[in-house]
Structure 1
């Protein structure tokens, strides 16, 4: 239901822009470079396989999974126009950091903070202005490829303290009060779709808004030097909606 609402909202962005009667503006031309900067919100629509505990011989537990919160950062975008309606766009941003929570309610342990992960999600897209760009309000669509690399992963002290409790409950193993843990998340390559609109203030400056969906999937592994692989979560589909509001300049 949440995803459907987001889809409806994104569709309204394009349809509403196309319906507005706007005043003439100088069309983009082949060779134009558009530079944009502003705010970008990454809102994960996450799902995953169940949480497994290989160190205790526990397979994926049905009904468990992970939750990932939103983050807002500074976005940097550059678009090269091949014509008045076709271009290639590169999306970059300052690193995003998301808090991760393990939902263990199905196993009787409630929700446990896992830690946080920092990533960079550069995305290269082809963009098309179906109505051309010679109007003040110019909607566009885009499709491209995303590469997400996780550059820092930190495990919370709450999880390091929860592992000994679970180990004692399940296997009667005494691990003390806390177990030092490390987390590793695989990089991801996936497709990206977007809807956007430019509002041209004059021949040089414009305001840009867009909504984008990105296919991001990773496998998570949490380890301990002595115990080996303690926790795994496979097929973590982050699949975020990415919302942007930018100011742009045409070179």
Structure 2
């Protein structure tokens, strides 16, 4: 009976750890993400102009290295995102328009859950890290010289992988990024734009 019990415990242990991602594993995820800015993006020019930033979708790629079982360090990169924005008066009338491009590389530490019996063998994960966003090609319809400062902020990450092969999976994820930038027009500070988006994406994931 003792031998049978040990065999049963060993079998259960093997089953519950079979899907752990071992330390030393690399994974690459290629897909697309939508940057969806928050609805209230702040005001400029002493509060006289409300800012509205639109969303955008671009291809993305990330690499993750597992420093321990199920614990990875991930770097997210993307083709530059493009955002148009409106500057509206208090009554909602459009006063000015503009646009900018940005790159938001994000470094995160992530934990991938296993030991759970979920439909389709889904493997959820969570992460937290830091986002660095650099802006360029800023334009405004008034023809002035608009400059947006780079931003550094906290980033959160949640998602799940749906494996369809031992080293391949389909990923659905969402990130929150704290992105705020100080705006300068013709050398004068005109306020802060708060983008702070949710970023939704899908990707193909390959482990090595």
> Taking structure 1 as the reference length, what is the TM-score of the superposition?
0.70
Q: Which residue of structure 2 lines up, in the alignment, with residue 112 of structure 1?
A: 95
Q: Contact between 2:75 and 2:106, CA under 8 Å: does it hold in 1?
A: yes
Q: Which residue of structure 1 lines up, in the alignment, with residue 10 of structure 2?
A: none
What's the CA shift for 1:130?
3.5
Q: Which residue of structure 1 lines up, in the alignment, with residue 179 of structure 2?
A: 216
**Secondary structure at 1:153's aligned position in 2?**
strand
Q: Which residue of structure 1 lines up, in the alignment, with residue 87 of structure 2?
A: 102
Q: Which residue of structure 1 lines up, in the alignment, with residue 198 of structure 2?
A: 241
1:61 aligned to which of 27, 47, 50: 47
What's the CA shift for 1:236?
1.6
Q: Distance in 1 between matches of 2:21 and 2:199?
A: 25
Q: Contact between 1:28 and 1:133, CA under 8 Å: does it hold in 2?
A: no
Q: Is the strand fraction higher in 1 or 2?
A: 2
**Secondary structure at 1:192's aligned position in 2?**
strand
Runs of 4+ in 1 over 2 A off after TM superposition: 23-27, 46-51, 130-136
The superposition leaves residues 157-201 of structure 1 with CA deviations (integer Å, 9 ceiling, x where unpaired) of: xxx2xxxxxxxxxxxxxxxxxxx3111000000000111101111
Q: Which residue of structure 2 lines up, in the alignment, with residue 44 of structure 1?
A: 37
Change (3 A) 1:26 1:109: closer
**Secondary structure at 1:30's aligned position in 2?**
coil
**Secondary structure at 1:90's aligned position in 2?**
strand
What's the CA shift for 1:133?
8.8
What's the CA shift for 1:39?
0.9
Change (3 A) 1:75 1:246: same
Change (3 A) 1:150 1:133: farther
2:155 aligned to which of 192, 202, 205: 192
Task: Provide the aligned C-alpha RMSD in A.
Answer: 2.3
> Taking structure 2 as the reference length, what is the TM-score of the superposition?
0.84
Change (3 A) 1:132 1:40: farther
Q: Which residue of structure 1 lines up, in the alignment, with residue 136 of structure 2?
A: 151
The superposition leaves residues 186-221 of structure 1 with CA deviations (integer Å, 9 ceiling, x where unpaired) of: 000000011110111111211111111000011112
Q: Distance in 1 between matches of 2:84 and 2:150?
A: 17
What's the CA shift for 1:28?
1.4
Q: How many residues align?
A: 191
Any unmatched runs of 5+ in structure 2?
1-15
Change (3 A) 1:133 1:88: farther
What's the CA shift for 1:119?
0.4
